[in-house]
Every structure is written in structure tokens, then in C-alpha cells.
């Protein structure tokens, strides 16, 4: 429930927005955006976690202190208008030089052997094309890994599995960028119907896959090599190999001391090679794609407002191919589904799209989920 004081302040904000013209270009609202500051109350109302909130909040506080002092009556309003969007005047820096990609995040400490180095030289030929598809998802993926305190090397899994092809399908009937089988994916929360397939949804399948990898890591003696082989070969198959090794007197259970299948060893070799390239591409004569250290896309709620991907592309100004790549879970052009999936939109287009479909004010925290509140219905309503 929104506190009474917040309601009064929010009402004041609505009045100011109406006076300044909610339907004008974003530049006309820049002064309003810099005047609003997030407070703990709104963070508790938002449904999304901010993985970098401490550093970003402190930077904004110091950079805009003079602006905030001019609008003390609004600093408690807890409405964030700028965070969900790309700011062309801001220098974000490179994702590859950020704390998300810091060397301390690579905790597996992979040291390639001769066979793995040879594999890396081969895989480097496809690295840049694969990363061209995956670059829009990299900030999200690295943020999710950091939030779960998982090794950054795991960002190489979709490189191995699919080359970041969201609609990839294997001969073994595995689906999506993380190549889940239907049975395993459904057991980790992924669903599919005639309109939407969460196995192809990068955000949904990433969350399910990382949860699965965490499960395998715990089940297999906190050993990432074994967890990764099990991800590819199956949990119970690896457990069977471990039992066999113990029965043969093996005390120290690792990927080197148990008799892995040829497929399991090949998978582990490919993973380590791609992980090494991802961490230090220059060693293999390739480069990372240019990626800003910022939220790359936003989930916009479109139910009842936009019926098709084609219409959304026109209203947002996003190329239809980009929109389909971000939203591969939709099986047709229709955005109508029994489950509300929303639409992932590049951050630089989110403002235009939200304005076009009638969302006026945004209550959210930084991250990849965006809750939009229409001005006409916001007064006196609860925000969940």
C-alpha cells in the first residue's frame, strides 16, 4: 500500500507532468527526470532487483545534488523516470571494462591444456559472429551471474550450446539458446503453448538454466567441471560414473579421475575453450563486440495495448528483426498470449514505445523488469 505522503507527492508530480506536457518529446521532460530521486519505499514496491544500485545511486547523488536541492519537495516521491531509459548524453563505458567482467568474476581459473588451446583456436573463428547475436544479452547475463555469485565463465555456456541462437534446436530435441530438453526445462519452470515458448525466451531460459547449473553444482560435490558435463550429458548419467569410480577405489572425484564419455570430454573441452576466448579474446586474435555497460532492454507490458510484433516495431521504432531476436519466445507475430510475457524493447526505444502506447509514468528500479503506471489510473491505486 502506498503511504499517504507518497500519494500526495505523486499527485503533485502528475500535475507537473500534465502542465509540462506528457505527450511532448523526452527532451522536454529532461528537467523533470533529473529532479526525481529514488527512496527505499519505492524499492520495496518494485518487483525487480537492482544489482548495481549502490554505485549508481551514489553517482547520481553526487552528480545531481544541486538539482535535487532545488526540488526537495519531490525527492521523497520515489518515482524514477530516467533509470529505465538510454541516455544519449551519458558516458556508460564498456561492459568489458566494468565490474561485471572484472577478472575477479572469473573464479573457475581455467588453464587450457594443449588440446583445449587447439580447440580454442578453432572456435575463435566463430566467436565474433556468435557474440554478434549475443551482445544484446551480455549485460543481462553477466548481471544475473553476479547476482547469483556464479562464475563469469558460465556466460560461455550459450556460446557452446547454440552460439546465442534463440531458436536453436538439436538432433536430440533440445531447444533454445541454453538447449534445454522439454522434460528438464519444464521441471525448472519453463512452459510452452501454441503462442509462446519460454525455451526460446532468453531471459526465462537463462534463469532456468542458471538454477539448473546451481542444482548440478551442489549435487556433484561443488565441482563445476562435473556440473557442466552433467548439464550436457544428464545428471544421473554423471552420478552413475561417479559411483562406478568410487567402486573402483577412486578417492578424489573430478572430471579427470572418472571415466567420462567421449561426448562429455568434448563438451568440457569446448566449454573451457570458449570461456578462455570470452575472457581474453585478444589472445586468440579476435575481439569483443562493442557493448555499453548499461541495461540493454526493458520488459514493457503490452497486454490490451499492442496486438502484434509488427505494430510494436512501428510504434517503438525498433527494427522488426531486432524485436524478434529479443522476443523469440513469441511463435507468431501475435502478442496475444494466455500468460502475460510483455515485450522486451531496447532501452533506447523504451521511452518512445511507452509513450506511444499510453504509459505516462514509470515506477521501477533499475534492472530488466519495468512496471508502468498510467497517469489516468495511478491516483489512489496500489503499486505491487
The tens digit of pLDDT for each residue in 104-113 reads: 999 999 999 9
Stretch 183-195: mean pLDDT, rounded?
Answer: 94
pTM score, two decimals? 0.75
Q: Is 138 helix (H, G, I), strand (E, B) or coil?
A: helix
Q: Is 161 a catalytic residue?
A: yes
> Residue 372: phi, psi to the nearest 5?
-110, 140
The tens digit of pLDDT for each residue in 265-281 reads: 999 999 999 999 999 99
> Do residues 335 and 309 lie in contact, with contact meaning Cβ atoms separated by under 8 Å?
yes
The domain made up of 95-284 has a fold known as Lysozyme (1.10.530)
> Do residues 304 and 314 lie in contact, with contact meaning Cβ atoms separated by under 8 Å?
no
Torsion region of 292: left, alpha or beta (phi above 0 gives left; psi -120 to 50 gives alpha): beta
Q: Is 197 helix (H, G, I), strand (E, B) or coil?
A: strand
Tell me how far apart the alpha carbons of residues 214 and 191 are, in angstroms, rounded to a whole number: 20
For residue 193, give the DSSP letter.
-
Tell me how far apart the alpha carbons of residues 37 and 233 are, in angstroms, rounded to a whole number: 49
Considering the candidates 119, 144, 161, 198, report the single residue annotated as catalytic: 161
The tens digit of pLDDT for each residue in 132-149 reads: 999 999 999 999 999 999
> Do residues 107 and 151 lie in contact, with contact meaning Cβ atoms separated by under 8 Å?
yes
> Do residues 357 and 345 lie in contact, with contact meaning Cβ atoms separated by under 8 Å?
no
Work out the pLDDT band at 208, boundaries 50, 70, 90.
Answer: very high
pLDDT over 50 at 200, yes or no: yes
Per-domain residue ranges of the chain: 4-92+294-378, 95-284
- Single out the residue of 162, 92, 152 nearest to residue 129, CA to CA: 162
Amino acid at each position: 500500500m502506498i503511504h499517504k505522503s507518497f500519494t500526495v507527492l505523486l499527485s503533485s508530480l502528475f500535475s507537473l507532468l500534465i502542465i509540462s506536457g506528457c505527450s511532448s518529446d523526452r527532451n522536454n521532460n529532461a528537467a523533470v527526470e533529473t529532479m526525481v530521486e529514488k527512496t527505499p519505499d519505492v524499492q520495496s514496491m518494485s518487483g525487480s532487483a537492482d544489482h548495481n544500485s549502490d554505485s549508481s545511486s551514489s553517482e547520481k547523488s553526487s552528480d545531481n545534488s544541486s538539482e535535487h536541492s532545488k526540488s526537495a519537495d519531490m525527492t521523497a516521491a520515489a518515482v524514477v523516470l530516467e533509470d529505465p531509459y538510454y541516455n544519449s548524453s551519458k558516458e556508460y563505458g564498456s561492459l568489458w571494462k566494468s565490474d561485471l567482467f572484472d577478472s575477479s568474476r572469473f573464479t573457475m581459473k581455467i588453464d587450457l591444456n594443449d588440446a583445449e588451446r587447439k580447440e580454442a583456436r578453432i572456435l575463435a573463428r566463430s566467436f565474433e559472429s556468435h557474440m554478434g547475436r549475443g551482445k544484446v544479452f551480455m549485460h543481462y547475463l553477466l548481471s544475473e551471474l553476479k547476482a547469483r555469485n556464479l562464475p563469469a565463465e558460465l556466460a560461455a555456456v550459450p556460446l557452446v550450446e547454440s552460439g546465442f541462437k534463440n531458436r536453436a534446436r538439436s538432433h536430440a530435441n533440445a531447444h533454445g539458446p541454453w538447449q534445454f530438453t522439454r522434460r528438464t526445462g519444464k521441471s525448472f519452470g519453463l512452459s510452452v503453448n501454441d503462442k509462446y515458448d519460454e525455451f526460446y525466451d532468453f531471459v526465462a531460459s537463462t534463469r532456468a538454466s542458471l538454477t539448473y547449473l546451481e542444482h548440478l553444482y551442489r549435487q556433484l560435490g561443488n565441482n563445476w567441471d562435473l556440473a557442466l558435463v552433467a548439464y550436457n550429458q544428464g545428471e544421473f548419467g554423471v552420478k552413475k560414473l561417479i559411483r562406478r569410480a568410487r567402486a573402483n577405489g577412486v578417492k578424489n572425484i573430478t572430471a579427470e579421475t572418472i571415466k567420462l564419455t567421449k561426448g562429455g570430454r568434448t563438451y568440457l573441452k569446448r566449454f573451457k575453450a570458449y570461456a578462455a576466448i570470452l575472457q581474453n579474446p585478444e589472445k586468440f586474435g579476435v575481439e569483443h563486440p562493442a557493448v555499453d555497460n548499461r541495461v540493454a532492454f526493458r520488459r514493457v507490458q503490452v497486454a490490451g495495448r499492442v496486438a502484434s510484433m509488427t505494430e510494436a516495431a512501428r510504434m517503438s521504432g525498433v527494427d522488426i528483426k531486432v524485436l524478434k531476436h529479443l522476443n523469440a519466445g513469441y511463435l507468431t507475430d501475435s502478442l496475444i498470449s494466455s500468460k502475460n510475457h510483455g515485450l522486451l524493447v531496447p532501452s533506447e526505444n523504451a521511452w518512445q514505445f511507452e509513450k506511444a502506447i499510453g504509459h505516462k509514468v514509470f515506477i521501477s528500479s533499475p534492472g530488466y523488469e519495468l512496471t508502468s503506471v498510467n497517469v489516468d489510473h495511478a491516483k489512489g491505486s496500489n503499486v505491487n
